[in-house]
Amino acid sequence: MNGLLNVVRLLGAMVTEAIWRTGFGARFFILLLRHSGQSLTRVHLTIRELYFSGVLSLLIIVVSGLFVGMVLAMQGYETLQRYGSGDALGVLVALSLTRELGPVVAGLLFASRAGLAVTAEIGLMKTTEQLDAMDMMAVNPIARVVAPRFWGGVISMPLLAALFSAMGVFGGWLIGVVLIGVDEGAFWSQMQAAVDFRFDIMNGVVKSVVFGAAVSLIAVFEGYDCTPTAEGLSRAITRTVVTSALAILALDFVLTSLMFRGQS
């Protein structure tokens, strides 16, 4: 009987904790937005973060985009060929990349490449009491440390996702046209006929902006909120990766059903 009560109590504690953290996260987000002014007026703070989250992610994004596009073309051709429509390979590659794979896979890579680093950096600053020291010097740590990292992520994510999609299409072209021998004219013209700029590409960009904001918010929040010990820091980093991946996939489902359901 006592054991059962304990289980129920544990469940209650978990739910309360989850609600409390969500509320704290929302208040943190509002605070972050209110203190964002400085990161926009003192541009070099944000530019430094753009370098760390954007420029240093270039290599992994380019290489993975290329390989995802190449695999997509290989597997897609196999199936399309069975129905005698191998020419539609360009459509398959471009639509799946611009609508889904570009934003989602780039977002997952971005979370594990840049988001994790942000959590570790802020968490370590908190553990070594640098954030408190800043507060003592009347420097707001949210304006000085958190907001630039957040905006750096929000700005670099759509650029990385666009690069990922472009590299994927290039990879698909490489395998489809150069290696397999799909007709080049059909590849591009069918792609251009099927992919709409506003409907497909811009919706992909909107998705990547949303994912960038979600991943960056989770990363800075977990760092700022971590228990200031070595173990707390490692748990915060783990939570960043897991929560961002789940957030990206869940948001992608919601956005896709809002954007593309019942249309074409």
Partner 1 sequence: MSRTKLDLWVGFFVVIGMGALLFLALKVGNLGGSNFTDTYVVMARFDNIGGLKVRAPVKSAGVVVGRVTNIGFDTSGYRAEVTFALDTRYQFPRDTIATILTSGLLGEQYLGLDPGGEAEMLKGGEVVQITQSAVVLEKLIGQFMFDKAAEAPAN
Q: Is 167 in the site for partner 1 (CB under 8 A)?
A: yes
Tell me how many residues contact partner 1 (CB under 8 A): 33
Instruction: Give the residue from 216, 217, 226 showing the smallest Cα distance to 127.
Output: 226
Considering the complex, what minimum distance in angstroms separates the CB of residue 233 from partner 1? 25
Near partner 1 in 195-214, by CB under 8 A: 195-197, 199-201, 205
54-62, 121-129, 136-144, 241-249 -> range binding partner 1 (CB under 8 A): 54-62
CB 131 within 8 A of CB 125: yes
Q: Is 29 in the site for partner 1 (CB under 8 A)?
A: no
The DSSP code for 226 is S
9-17, 32-40, 107-115, 160-168 -> range binding partner 1 (CB under 8 A): 160-168
Q: Which residues contact 151 (CB under 8 A, 6 or more apart)?
A: 36, 39, 40, 46, 49, 216
The DSSP code for 88 is G
Q: Give the one residue of 66, 116, 118, 169 binding partner 1; rule: CB under 8 A.
A: 169
166-174, 211-219, 221-229, 231-239 -> range binding partner 1 (CB under 8 A): 166-174
Packing angle between helix 203-225 and helix 116-127, nearest 10 degrees? Answer: 20
Q: Count CA within 13 A, CB hemisphere, residue 262.
A: 2
Of 182 and 236, nearer to partner 1 (C-beta) is 182
Amino acid letter, residue 79: T
Cα separation of the two ends of the chain: 57
The pattern of x and - marking residues 235 through 264 that bind partner 1 according to CB under 8 A reads ----------------------------xx
Q: Is 50 in the site for partner 1 (CB under 8 A)?
A: yes
Instruction: Give the residue from 155, 168, 128, 129 showing the smallest Cα distance to 215.
Output: 155
Considering the complex, what minimum distance in angstroms separates the CB of residue 84 from partner 1? 9
Near partner 1 in 79-98, by CB under 8 A: 94, 98
